[in-house]
Amino acid sequence: MKKLATLAVLAALSAACAKGAPPRPTLTTEDDKTVYAIGVALARSIQPLQLTPAELELVVAGLREGSAGKAELTVESRQVQIQQFAQGRRSRMGQAESKKGTEYLAKAAKEPGAVTSASGLVYIPIKEGTGAPPKASDTVKVNYTGRLVDGTVFDASERHGGPATFPLSGVIPCWTEGVQKLKVGGRARLVCPAAIAYGDHGAGSEIPPGATLDFEVELVGIVSK
C-alpha cells in the first residue's frame, strides 16, 4: 500500500514538471529543502515505470480526485493490475538494458589486455599490483567507481568516505571473481553482465533490471586471509 502511495505522489510531481507547472519555489527553510529532497528521492523510484506524459496525466487525476474523496476507482480494486503493470514495464526496461549491455560487453572485450572469462566477466587490467591475490574467503579493502553503460556513476567508495572493506564471499559474483584477479596496489575494470551482477531485478533505483555494470576497482589491501 505504501509503495502505491509513493508512486502516485511521485507521478504527480513528475507530471507537474513535464507540463511546465509554475516556477519552482525558492528553497528557503530547512523544511523546504527536506520536502524537495523527498521529491528527488521519489523521482528516482519511478524511473523503472517509464510513464508517458499521458499516463502521468492519469496519475495526477487519480491523485487529485482521490485527495478530494471523488476517485472513480479504489486502489484495492486494481492492486493485481498495478503489480502486473509495474512488472511489465520493468521487463521492458530489462530487455532494452540487456541489448545495450551485449553491445557494451563486446566493445569492452576488444580493449587492450581484456580477458573474457567463462562467466562473461570482462577483466581489463589497468595497473599491476604486487604479492598474492586474495581468495574468495578473504576480506578486502578497495577503492571503486561503478558506472552504467551510459557512463552514469551509480556508486563510488569516495562517496562513503574512502576505501570500502568487505568479504569477497558477500558481494556480487562479478566482484568475487574479478577482485581475485587483482594484487595489492593493482587496478582493473570489471565489466559485469547482468547475470553475475544484479540480474533481471536490478538494485534499488540506481541500477535498472538487466543492467551491465562497469567497475573500476583498486585493491588497497587484504584485511584477512
Record: fold of 112-224:
Chitinase A; domain 3 (3.10.50)
Of the residues 38, 85, 138, 154, only one is catalytic, namely: 154
Residue in 155, 196, 207, 214 annotated catalytic? 155
Which residue, 203, 176, 188, is CA-closest to 143? 188
Q: Which of 46, 104, 123, 198 is catalytic?
A: 198
Spacing of C-alpha 173 from chain mean position: 16
Please check whether residue 197 is in contact with residue 212, taking contact to mean a CB–CB distance below 8 angstroms.
yes
Active-site entry in 123, 196, 215, 222: 215
Look up 104 and say whether it is catalytic.
Answer: no
- Catalytic-role residue among 38, 85, 166, 172: 172
Catalytic residue among 144, 196, 207, 222: 144
Catalytic, 85? Answer no
- The reply to whether 166 belongs to the active site is no
Amino acid occupying residue 45: S
Q: pLDDT by residue for the chain (225 residues), tens digit each?
A: 444 444 444 444 444 444 455 567 788 899 999 988 876 776 666 666 777 778 878 877 887 888 788 888 888 998 898 888 877 877 777 678 889 999 999 999 999 999 999 999 999 999 999 999 999 999 999 999 999 999 999 999 999 999 999 999 999 999 999 999 999 999 999 999 999 999 888 887 688 889 999 999 999 999 975
| pLDDT, position 47 | 67
d(CA 222, CA 24): 49
pTM of the model: 0.68
Domains in the chain: boundaries: 2-72, 112-224
The predicted structure's pLDDT at residue 42: 65
pLDDT value for 5? 45
The pLDDT assigned to 45 comes to 66
pLDDT at 154 (0 to 100):
92
Please say if 198 is a catalytic residue. Answer: yes
How many Cα atoms occupy the beta-carbon half-sphere of 202 within 13 Å? Answer: 22
Look at residue 153 in the predicted model and tell me its pLDDT: 95
Catalytic annotation present for 155: yes
What is residue 98's predicted lDDT score, i.e. its pLDDT? 84
Whole-number CA gyration radius for the chain:
22
154 is catalytic: yes
